[in-house]
């Protein structure tokens, strides 16, 4: 499994703004280019797996 987040499915394909960040007592993926957020997870590894499995129609885009 990759230890780096994949590019955001909503932002430009070559963006470098994706990251996994802590939020309160959880982690989530976030795109610093477009503001999209992934689902919260208990661990960094779970958040990374969830972020890397995302597709553009998964409903986690920040409004």
Q: Of 30 and 56, which is predicted with more confidence?
A: 30
Query: Quick check: is 10 in a domain?
Result: no
Q: What is the pLDDT of residues 17-52, one digit of tens each?
A: 889 999 999 999 999 888 889 899 999 999 999 999
Q: Where does the pLDDT of residue 58 fall: very low under 50, low under 70, confident under 90, or very high at 90 and above?
A: low
Whole-number pLDDT of residue 63? 44
Q: Of 35 and 16, which is predicted with more confidence?
A: 35
Measured between its terminal Cα atoms, the distance across the chain in Å is 30
Whole-number pLDDT of residue 1? 58
**Residue span of the structural domain in which 47 resides:** 18-52
Query: Quick check: is 5 in a domain?
Result: no
User: Is 28 in a helix, a strand, or coil?
Assistant: strand
Query: Quick check: is 36 in a domain?
Result: yes
Structure token pair of residue 47: 């958040």
Query: Quick check: is 63 in a domain?
Result: no
Q: Is the pLDDT of residue 14 over 70?
A: no
């Amino acid at each position: 499994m990759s230890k780096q987040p994949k590019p955001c499915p909503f932002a430009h394909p070559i963006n470098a703004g994706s990251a996994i960040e802590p939020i309160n007592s959880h982690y989530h993926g976030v795109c610093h280019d477009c503001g999209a957020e992934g689902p919260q997870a208990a661990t960094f590894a779970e958040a990374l797996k969830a972020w890397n499995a995302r597709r553009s129609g998964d409903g986690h885009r920040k409004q």
